[in-house]
Amino acid sequence: MKLLSILIGVLGYLTIPAFCATTIQETEGVNTLVIKAGQPRETISPDIYGHFAEHLGRCIYGGIWVGPDSEIPNIRGIRKDVLEALKKLNLPVLRWPGGCFADEYHWKDGIGPRQNRPRIVNTHWGMVVEDNSFGTHEFLDLCELLGCEAYIAGNVGSGTPEEMMDWVEYMTFDGDSEMANLRKQNGREKPWKIKYFGVGNENWGCGGNMTPEYYADVFKRYQTFIKNYPGSRIIKAACGPNGEDTRWMDVMMSRARPEGIGVHYYVMAGDWGNKGSATEFNEGEWFSLMSKTLRIENIIRAHIEVMDKYDNRRRTQLYIDEWGTWWNQEPGSKPGFLYQQNTVRDAVSAGIYLNEFNKRCDRIKMCNIAQTVNVLQAMVLTEGSKMLVTPTYHVFEMYKVHQGGKLLDSDLTCNAYSREGKKVPALNVSASKGKDGAVYISLCNLDPTTPAEIKCTLDGMTPSKVSGRVLTAQTMNAHNTFDNPEAVKPAELAGIEIKDRQLLAALPSKSVSVLRVE
C-alpha cells in the first residue's frame, strides 16, 4: 500500500498541464495557430469568470444598491438595469464585502431592520459613512437574483474566530440554534448555500501586515471554526501572495495546505506612485500595460510550481481573486473611490488575462476581476439613473462561451509587437470545446496599429462553418460615455473563411476576437 501511495503521488506530480505554447517568429509573416480540436482536456471552471464587489466608492451604493424606496427601478433595492446587464455575462461567482473593507467589517452590523443598523466609518476608502443598509441578506439576495455562487471574505484582521463561526452558522445552518433563529427572525427561513469563504484578505498588507508564518497559523486557527453544517460544503480560501511573492505561497503550502488560495495581481502603465491615466496615454504606455499583463503567465507558473512541490495531487485550488488594471483616479471623482474609465486598452488586457486563466484551468478554479461596478476595471458604470457597460464588460460577454468548456491545447507562432527595443508576442490565444460541441477560439491582437493575418489548423476536426465577433475601435483610448454609451461594442468579424481545411482570418489592430467553429 505504501508503494502504491508513492506511485500515485509521483503520477500526480507528473501530470502534464495543458500545453499552450506561443513562439515569436524571427521573420515577419502570416501568424499560424494549431489547435488540437480532437483532444479536449480539463474543464474550464465557470468560476474563472467571477467578479468582486467591495464596499468601496460607488460599487455598492449607487452602483448595485439604491434601496427599495429609490425612484431608480429596483428589485428589493437592487438596481434592475445593473442586474440585467450582469445576468447577460452568466456571472458565476461574486466576492464580497472586500477587499480591505472585509477586515474591518463586522457582519452583525448589516442584519436586522435597516433603520437600526449602526453607521460606521469606511476607513480604507474615503473615510465616508457606511450605513450598513447593504448587508448579508441583501448580498445573498443579489446572488440568488444573479444565479451565482457567493464568495464571502471573512474578517481576520479585526474580527474573532467566534464572529466568523457565528456568521457561517447564521448563513448555512438549517436547524434550531441562536444564529439560525436570528436569521429566521430577520426574514430568511431557509439557509443559503455558500460555496467559498475567504479567511481574511491581503493579510500581508491592509488585513493586518502579517508575516506568512504568522498568517499560516492564524489561518489554521480561524478556518477550524468554519463549520460544514448538514447539507453545506464550504471551500475555505486562504489569503495568498501579492503578485510574484512565491515565498508567501511556499510558507502557506508547507504549513497550512488550504483548500484554496488566492493571488492578487494588478497592472498599470506606470508604478504605484503614478499609475497613469485611464484615457490619456501614448503607445509607450499601451506597450507597458501589455507587457505587464503578459507577466501573469509566469506568475501563475511560478506559484503552481510551488504548490505542486507540496501538493502533487492538486487538492489545493488556485484562485486569482483580485486582478485587473489600476489607473490614477478619474479627475473630479471623490478621493478614495477608485473610479476610473475603461478603454479598448483595458479590454485587450482583460482578454489576455482570461486567455491565460483558461490555459491553466488544470489548477486555477476561480478568478475575480476588480471590480463589478464603478470601481477599477468595472463591468458597469452608473451616474444617477444612467448606466453603461464598458469594453471590459463586452470581453466577458464574448468569452462566456468558454465557461464549462473543455480546454484545447494550442500552438501559436506569431509576429512580434516591438517598441523601443523590447518585444512581446503580437497575439494571445486560448481555445475550448464548448458545451454545445463547437470550438471557440479567443484571440487578442496586442498591436495597436497593425492588423494581423492568421492561419489556423484544427487537428482532429474538419471545419465546415466559422463565424466570429470582434471588439475594437479607431483609437487606443476609445471608451463608452453616458453621452455615447455604444462607442465601443462587439461587431461581426468580417472576412473569415475556410480554405484547404484551414481557417483564415484578419484580426484588426488593438482587438479582441472570438471565433466559433463547427
Nine-digit cell at 111?
Answer: 442584519
Contact 205, 242 (CB under 8 A): yes
Please say whether the beta carbons of 444 and 356 come within 8 A.
no
- Residue 154, amino acid: G
Burial label for 329, CB within 10 Å (0-12, 13-18, 19+), is middle
Q: Is 213 a catalytic residue?
A: no
| Span between the terminal Cα atoms of the chain, in Å | 47
Burial pattern 112-137, b for ≥16 Cβ within 10 A else e, equals bebeebeebebebbeebebbbbbbbb
Q: Computed over its alpha carbons, how large is the radius of gyration of the chain?
A: 23
Q: Which residues contact 352 (CB under 8 A, 6 or more apart)?
A: 290, 293, 294, 296, 428, 444, 446
CA torsion sign, 66 to 71 to 76 to 81? negative
Closest CA to 345 of 493, 509, 485, 469: 509
Q: Are 165 and 226 in contact (CB under 8 A)?
A: yes
d(CA 85, CA 4): 51
Which of 74-84 are b and which e, b meaning 16 or more Cβ less than 10 Å from the residue's Cβ? beebbbebbbe
* Cell numbers found for residue 243: 503578485
Which member of 104, 149, 169, 202 is catalytic? Answer: 202
Question: Is 189 an annotated catalytic residue?
Answer: no
If residue 470 lies in a helix (H) or strand (E), which one and from where to where? strand 466-471
Set 130, 138, 297, 322: catalytic member: 322
Among 317, 267, 264, residue whose Cα is nearest residue 292 = 267
Instruction: Quickly list DSSP for 350-419.
Output: HHHHHHHHHHTTTTEEEEEEE-SBSSSS-SEEEETTEEEE-HHHHHHHHHGGGTT-EEE-EEEEE-EEEE
On the CB side of 238, CA atoms within 13 Å amount to 31
Contacts of 363 (CB under 8 A, 6+ apart): 17, 300, 304, 307, 314, 317, 318
Q: Is 239 helix (H, G, I), strand (E, B) or coil?
A: strand
Label residue 242 exposed, middle or buried (CB < 10 Å: 0-12, 13-18, 19+).
middle
Length of the chain: 518
Catalogue the active-site residues.
202, 322
